[in-house]
Chain A
Amino acid sequence: MTYDVAVLAGGLSLERDVSLRSGRRVAEALGGLGHRVTQLDLDEHLVTTLSRGGFDVVFLTLHGRAGEDGTIQGLLELLEVPYTGPDSVASALAWDKSVMKGQWRRNGLPTPDWVRVTSTAVRDMGASAALDRVLARLGEPLVVKPGQGGAALGVRLVDSADDLARALIAAFSYHDVVLAERHVAGTEVAVSVVDGEALPPVEIVPKEGAYDFVARYTHGATEFFAPARLPAAALRRCQQVALDAYALAGCRHLTRADLIVDASGTPWLLELDTCPGMTETSLLPVAAQARGWSFEELCERVVGLAVAGPSG
């Protein structure tokens, strides 16, 4: 079967560049498979375009706000156009990192302890007087990250009170809610789930420093091992935690969980990405390759899931 597919990429989020790279790659793959592909960016005519377009399915490669927070998903549900990835509720839930982490903790999924800091609390309630408590509770070093958003934008590793103040200011630049999170030392692993199946965990080894924006999007700045170089039991635990996170948020089609496996083999959940990157350096395509699927097969599979409908 071939379909009329709209690949949605770009948008106004700070991850626009990454999204365009994902979208271009998906569009090429689907076009090569014989689908009729239209690439669309977000603009004020989008609803009209989608309503008139006669698309069988929308492939979402939007990253960041509006693309991953449930906005576009809600719109597509209203228009009754099938689309790829988790629905609007699951997307909105996973998009808010502190809400998602709270759900994990309540349901017994391991996630590093964190403190939620809002710019309102800092500006209007003198919250910065409590920063020492943040350090005391979470220990040093700790990770500061915006409460929403991906691609490691605005993420900083902090090991002093002064650093914490600077990192908060930087993270508030991206979002008014910021998470200070206990840093877990260990092996960084990403587990992609496609249609309820956990793919081989991918181990991430940046050549220098942290797996930050530069390491993520520079070819060759990071080495991947798939499957991760962990004992079989630890690999299974990673996959189980990723599946639990997928199920808990009510996801479908595809997600990617980012984890750190500590020395005892415990996989700590950091984030659940509902619109994983599809660029040449992204983790989901790497995992699919380890599973034995080419990039084209991965795209074809995801399109098939979306076309099959909610029960599919």
Chain B
Amino acid sequence: MSEITLDPYVSRYATRARGMGASEIRALFAVASRPEVVSLAGGMPYTAALDYDAVAEVTDAVVREHGPSALQYGGGQGMPALRARLVEVMAAEETAAHPDDVVVTTGGQQALDLLGKLFCDPGDIVLAEGPSYVGALGAFSAYQARVLHVDMDADGLIPEAVEDRLTQVRAAGRTVKFLYTVPTHQNPAGVSLSVTRRLALAELARRHDLLVVEDNPYGLLDFKGEVRPSLRSLAPEHVVYVGTLSKIFSPGIRVGWLSAPGPIRDKLVLLKETADLCQSNLTQFVAERWLGTQPWQAQVAAFRELYRERCEAMLSEMAAELPSSCTWSVPTGGFFVWLRLPPALDAGEMLAKAIRARVAYVPGSAFHADGQGTGEVRLSFCLPPPERIREGVRRLAEVLREEVELVEAVYRGRG
């Protein structure tokens, strides 16, 4: 008799890594990446819209003119010249910042990881919208933080609900380490925090000494070009701002950043150095040159128009095709529509059927830390062209009609 252990390292893993493993949903997504399937699942920007000659020129010039330093280590906080450019990007949304307060990170995702590392001990409480960005939930849970969700509606996070949660947690003798929020064109709910609520939330942060992590990947992608005041601009001492070039230039160059109050920034620089010494100098140079020499704002305007058109294709097809018992958010920017399924339908259980019908989405439960969201779905309109989006929605509608019929039949007999 012999015992066979396929993972001889299993007893060595830290507690935080033990829950990580294979997932049925992730396996299903392996099919979703095939060209036959219309994927309304991923949140990948349409990088094919970029001017590749311009990108090539920029990259070429960087290597020729700055080769030795572009291929060298850099400082932990990021290139000063790039930080100055990132401050200009923030200024496009009327958010003041100083290059000294900026820390460059490997995409916005590393910023979230560093914040989890900085603030979260096992069991610590973090507040987040329900639903919330799945990558943030993953980053915080890797540090064994416990995410408590706060209700939102068509105007975004409800400040009274934040206050209720805070009071509850504090009454139980616990502290909330921070509130994580995507106030503008939220992922996945596709809604934006109203200006009134931004003011209320900033006031609440000051009154309750609440730290807010404001994640803003989609702020510049408002279909009408509307700019909303950032929380960072309203309560700078209580807000850590996370930005990224992923949605306005390229996710492939992995450039994100943090803008934080001084003491937090100092800690973040140290943590960044521990994590990977420094950001890639090569891509920092490319990003700096892109922002400094190319009409990046015109590119953002082009992205905006492209996504507006795709969103419109999705919404009009949904209105024409989906069962009347479905409801959904109407985005004014960003990448996502949040769909509520007819009663008793389970988006996770239905995913296999959808993929068999050659359409993919992300089940709503992925965006909740507490198992909620089973009757909801995130649809993204960023990557496929409008005709494919329409085709995908038609396929989804057919799956939904069948599923509604089936679920009714199963429960009808059960009385």
Name A residues whose Cβ lies closer than 8 Å to a Cβ of B.
12-18, 20, 119, 122-123, 126-131, 151, 153-154, 161-162, 165-166, 168-170, 172-174, 202, 212-214, 216-227, 229, 280-281, 286, 289-290
User: Once the chains bind, are A169 and B346 in contact (CB under 8 Å)?
Assistant: yes
The smallest C-beta distance from B16 to any residue of chain A, in angstroms, reads: 15
Residues of A within 8 A of B7 (CB): 219-220
Residues of B within 8 A of A13 (CB): 31
Q: Tell whether B407 is near chain A: CB-to-CB under 8 Å.
A: yes
Residues of B within 8 A of A224 (CB): 3-4, 6
User: Once the chains bind, are A223 and B34 in contact (CB under 8 Å)?
Assistant: no
Distance A273 CA – B157 CA, assembled complex (angstroms): 50
Within 8 A of A (CB), among B121-165: none
Q: Tell whether B27 is near chain A: CB-to-CB under 8 Å.
A: yes
- Taking a contact as CB atoms closer than 8 A, the residue among A14, A20, A122, A153 that contacts B409 in the complex is A122
User: Once the chains bind, are A213 and B407 in contact (CB under 8 Å)?
Assistant: no
User: Once the chains bind, are B1 and A229 in contact (CB under 8 Å)?
Assistant: yes
Q: Tell whether B51 is near chain A: CB-to-CB under 8 Å.
A: no
Distance A153 CA – B413 CA, assembled complex (angstroms): 26
Distance A53 CA – B412 CA, assembled complex (angstroms): 55
Stretch from B78-86, B230-238, B347-355 forming part of the interface with A: B347-355
Asked whether A128 and B413 contact (CB < 8 A) given A172-B353, A173-B349, the answer is: yes
The smallest C-beta distance from A275 to any residue of chain B, in angstroms, reads: 16
Stretch from B18-26, B166-174, B377-385, B390-398 forming part of the interface with A: B18-26
User: Once the chains bind, are A18 and B2 in contact (CB under 8 Å)?
Assistant: no
| Interface of B: prevailing SS | helix
The smallest C-beta distance from B87 to any residue of chain A, in angstroms, reads: 43
Residues of A within 8 A of B414 (CB): 128, 131, 161-162, 165
User: Once the chains bind, are A170 and B346 in contact (CB under 8 Å)?
Assistant: yes
Name B residues whose Cβ lies closer than 8 Å to a Cβ of A.
1-7, 9-10, 21-24, 26-28, 30-31, 34, 36, 346, 349-353, 355-356, 403, 405-407, 409-414
Look across to chain B and name the residue whose beta carbon is closest to the beta carbon of A172.
B406
- Taking a contact as CB atoms closer than 8 A, the residue among A122, A216, A218, A226 that contacts B4 in the complex is A226
Residues of B within 8 A of A219 (CB): 6-7, 10
Residues of B within 8 A of A212 (CB): 24
Residues of A within 8 A of B10 (CB): 219-220
Residues of A within 8 A of B403 (CB): 169
Provide a sorted-by-A list of 13 A–B residue pairs whose CB atoms are within 8 angstroms. Answer: A12-B36, A14-B27, A14-B352, A16-B30, A20-B30, A122-B410, A122-B413, A128-B411, A166-B346, A174-B353, A217-B21, A220-B9, A223-B3
Distance A227 CA – B353 CA, assembled complex (angstroms): 38
User: Once the chains bind, are B353 and A173 in contact (CB under 8 Å)?
Assistant: yes
User: Once the chains bind, are A226 and B22 in contact (CB under 8 Å)?
Assistant: no
Look across to chain B and name the residue whose beta carbon is closest to the beta carbon of A224.
B4
Residues of A within 8 A of B22 (CB): 213-214, 216-218, 221
Distance A18 CA – B23 CA, assembled complex (angstroms): 11
The smallest C-beta distance from B337 to any residue of chain A, in angstroms, reads: 22
Task: Pick from B6, B36, B346, B355 the residue with the most CB of A within 10 Å.
Answer: B6
User: Once the chains bind, are B2 and A225 in contact (CB under 8 Å)?
Assistant: yes
Distance A161 CA – B410 CA, assembled complex (angstroms): 11
